Structure 1
Amino acid sequence: MRHLALLALSLVGLPAMALTTVDLYRSEVILDQAVDNADAKARVEGMKEVIVKASGDRNAISNQVVQKALKQNGQYLTQISYGDLNGSQTLKMGFSAPHIRSLLSQAQLPVWPADRANLLVWLVEEGQAERNIVWEHADSSILTRMKQEADKRGLPLTVPVGDFDDITGLSVSDLWGGFALPVGQASQRYPVDAVLVVKAQGNSVRWTLYDQKPATVGVTRQAPITGSNNGADAASKMVNQISDYYAKKSAVVVASESSETLKVRFTELNDAVGFFTLENKLKGLSSVAAIDILKIQGNQVTFNIHLLSSQAEFEQEVKRVAPVVQLENAIEREVVPPVTVETGLSRSEDLAVVNAESNDAEAIQPVTVESLPEVIPAESILQFEWQGKPYVYTAPVEVLPEDANDVSSDIEGEALDSSTSSNG
């Protein structure tokens, strides 16, 4: 029994994995009861938060593909419920991870993996009389804002608990003076990936980020990252800058993929103007993420359409915004022609012909093998006939000034007078 107790204690003392897995696809938004359709607007805001958190890009919500998807947020929602936050009613939402990742790839936006660096935050606030270290459960408006912004960005933060080891292991002067070695030594008891030291004075913050394991802080020559921010939102700005740094460091752009793609052919496109008009209309559809041109043959164009919604919704949108008539689907079955292969020279005793006079074997003939044609499975292609009016070039008409006729008359009159005078 004693051995089991010792084993349990030893397991408790082992450091956990530092990288923290962030729940990227949940959000909670306060409902604004003063506006119409409060739930609908909250769903949009919740999806925006998830997209920023998953991509690591604050500008992701301005992407054209994302803007279309926000209008169809119901396709991405998996859970929805009501909650309460500080006395205000909230809407709690869960979104589909595969669908959000697919949306980011369609929009060519980065994906910031859910396993993220955990930062230990040493926060020192300067008051009127003294400076104090802010511990995990302290009542600090700066720490609250930091946590709120870090939650929106999906940046894991760990705040020292402020127990006996913390209080005796590090002093305010060590933090304020920027002494890296004692900071690193005091931080080693926490399983984190980096250490952030923040010094707050009123509405300004100065910060130093040691993007390295605590055991190497103050030991190696790796230079820290520093910055400063001012204003009422200084803490939020700081968290956003650090989040941008880690997102840029770890995020990747995944090759474009779609939850559903569709091949669509348009016929009777007899001029370039019609083609570009059609292409722009397709790109503007809310059901379309992106389009690829597969083939142009005669007056027909075949597209590969990356859909944000169902095929039925796409068909309805096309017929609503473009001058087209839907035709029967085309069935294509591509057959690869047979290939003739020469296998080289071969000889069989049964086929050998012996020339009695010269005792030479008959020349060996190459054997030709014709492979069977390869048949690719049939494919259905959605078809529309373009009904747009053909482009007609109109030559520009030269317009004379309003007084051109008067000037012409004056010139003719002067010429006539001159002619009369000379005759006289």
Structure 2
Amino acid sequence: MTHLYQAQVPVADQGAAERARALRAGLGAVLVKVTGNSLVLSNPEIISVLAGADGYVSEYGYVSYTRPGADQGSGLAMNIQFSETAVDRLVRGQHLQIWPADRPELLTWMVVDTDAGRQFVSPEDQPALLALLDRAMQGRGAPLLMPLLDLEDRRVLSEEDAWNFDLEKLSEASARYNSSAWMAVRLYRSSTGQWRGARLLKVDNSDNLRSLVADSPERLIDQLVGETVDSIASHYAFVPQFNAQELTLNINHVENYQAFSAVTGYLESLELVRTVIVEYVDGDRLGLRVAVEGDVGLLLDTLRRDSRMSEEPAADTADATANTYLFRWGRP
């Protein structure tokens, strides 16, 4: 995910008081995105830090802004870019969790009960709800994947199946998208005017069910995304450790200097990785010793999700030792 260190905050004017408020709100939004934890803003130390938000700003500017939802209207907003280095130093200094930028897409099957019957939310049907969902996911730095809802999807899964949270059919339909996280959502407006619903979230081998209620679709979607992304991030985030763990990566098909530079640059860019040391180059095989600040399993999960890295079975005794893994570089 990009733009994790950017925020857009609506403002009433360009005065100093509104600017200071927007900088505090913007830094708070960035910290929520980077950590993957909305509760970070209840941390007393972070509340104190927000008062000096201007010390973390790289640049800002004013742009026209359109409010989302039923109360759409034009206004003014601040676009704020925060210093990645300064924010990273803050997060690590406060021993907060970090949700790496390489994040799994959340496949979302959403059904809404309308006067015309139950419909999947898609660009063709219920585009306003889809726009609210997309905006809320972007605000949390979480990638959204919507199903195609083509004949193949509908052959496996109907609106009623998704509404009833048919786990077997949802799992079968989701397998096509090869996503490690998916959720099914059902929404309706009650006779009292409230928006109600529920969502079933599946991450790796765990799933959980939550109920939702709010007085508007905007607030319902914000509530849905907030607690869902918190839950997803808890599976993939790490708290930087003083003592790093080490593993050895043997990588095949590194055929030239460009590939060598791409492999090492990619690994060094990952938040989990503290250092990358080249141990050997043997033909097209590269041996690397990697120090990891979090759980080794999180790094391996990241590598396995990258289309350029394909894990291979150990071919010899050296590759079969503890904390040694074999990958192939290059798109399949």
Counterpart of 1:109, as a letter, is L
Q: Taking structure 1 as reference, are residues 66 and 179 closer, same or farther at Cα in structure 2, changes over 3 Å only?
A: closer
Alpha-carbon distance in 1 for matches of 2:124, 2:80: 27
Match of 1:352 in 2: none
Offset of residue 95 of structure 1: 1.3
1:95 matched to 2:82: yes
Question: What CA distance in whole angstroms lies between the structure 2 residues aligned with 1:137 and 1:113?
Answer: 33
Question: Displacement, 1:27?
Answer: 1.0
Q: 2:32 aligns with which of 39, 47, 52?
A: 52
Judging changes above 3 Å, is the alpha-carbon distance between structure 1 residues 118 and 176 closer, same or farther for their aligned structure 2 residues? same
Gaps of 5+ in 1: 1-20, 213-221, 257-424
Alignment partner, residue 229 of structure 1: 212
Pair 1:199-2:219 in alignment: no
1:124 counterpart = 2:116: no
Which residue in 1 is equivalent to 2:57?
77
Distance 2:61 2:206 in 1: 46
Match of 2:76, as an amino acid? Q
Matches within 5 A, 1:24-423: 24-33=4-13, 37-86=17-66, 87-136=74-123, 138-202=125-189, 203-212=195-204, 222=205, 224-232=207-215, 233-255=219-241
Q: Distance in 1 between matches of 2:24 and 2:81?
A: 12
SS at match of 1:111: coil
Distance 1:112 1:70 in 2: 20
2:9 and 2:148 map into 1 onto residues whose CA distance is 29
- Amino acid of the residue matched to residue 65 of structure 1? E
* Cα distance between partner residues in 1 of 2:176 and 2:123: 15
Counterparts of 2:232 and 2:111 in 1: how far apart (Å)?
23
Alignment check: 8 A CA contact 2:36 2:237 kept: yes
Distance 1:35 1:231, change over 3 A: farther
State the Cα deviation string for residues 112-164 of structure 1 (Å, max 9, x = none). Answer: 22122211111111112411111145445543433333222222221224445
Letter in 2 for 1:46: G
Distance 2:178 2:61 in 1: 34
Question: How far 1:234 moved relative to its partner?
Answer: 2.9
**Are 1:65 and 1:106, in contact at CA under 8 Å, matched by a contact in 2?**
no
> How high is the TM-score relative to the length of structure 2?
0.61
Q: In 1, distance between residues paired with 2:103 and 2:117?
A: 35
Cα displacement string for residues 312-346 of structure 1 (whole angstroms, at most 9, x for unaligned residues): xxxxxxxxxxxxxxxxxxxxxxxxxxxxxxxxxxx
Structure 2 counterpart of 1:264: none
Aligned residue identity for 1:78 = S
Counterparts of 1:116 and 1:62 in 2: how far apart (Å)?
Answer: 24
Q: CA deviation at 1:199?
A: 0.9
Q: What residue number does 1:385 align with? A: none
2:103, 2:143 within 8 Å by CA — same for their partners in 1? yes
Q: Kindly state the Cα deviation for residue 72 of structure 1 after the two structures are TM-superposed.
A: 2.6
What CA distance in whole angstroms lies between the structure 1 residues aligned with 2:77 and 2:197?
Answer: 31
Q: Distance in 2 between matches of 1:67 and 1:223?
A: 33
Change over 3 Å in CA distance of 1:166–1:32 after alignment to 2: farther
Q: Which amino acid aligns with 2:133?
A: M
| Matching residue of 2:272 | none
CA distance in 1, matches of 2:2, 2:124: 21
Shift of 1:200: 0.9
Q: Which stretch shifts more, 89-98 or 141-150?
A: 141-150
3-state secondary structure, aligned to 1:59: helix
CA distance in 2, matches of 1:24, 1:36: 25
Equivalent residue letter for 1:229? L
Aligned length: 227
Q: Distance in 2 between matches of 1:59 and 1:224?
A: 21
Read off the aligned partner of 1:211 and give its amino acid letter.
Answer: V
> CA distance change for structure 1 residues 188 and 84 in 2, over 3 Å: closer, same or farther?
farther
1:166, CA displacement in angstroms? 4.0
Question: SS of the counterpart of 1:225?
Answer: strand
Q: Aligned-pair distance for 1:253?
A: 2.1
Provide the rounded CA distance (Å) in 1 between the counterparts of 2:232 and 2:240.
Answer: 17
| Structure with bigger gyration radius | 1
Hey, what's the Cα distance between the residues in 1 that align with 2:105 and 2:90?
A: 27
Change (3 A) 1:125 1:180: same
**CA contact 2:41–2:47 (8 Å) conserved in 1:** yes
Which whole-Å CA distance do the structure 2 matches of 1:64 and 1:176 have between them? 41
Amino acid at match of 2:201: L
Give, in whole Å, the separation in 2 of the partners of 1:94 and 1:138.
35
Distance 1:171 1:56, change over 3 A: same
Residues 20, 54 of structure 2: 8 Å contact kept:
no
Give the Cα–Cα distance (whole angstroms) in 2 for the partners of residues 38 and 94 of structure 1.
17
**Farther-moved stretch of structure 1 (203-212 vs 131-140):** 131-140
How far did 1:111 drift?
Answer: 1.6
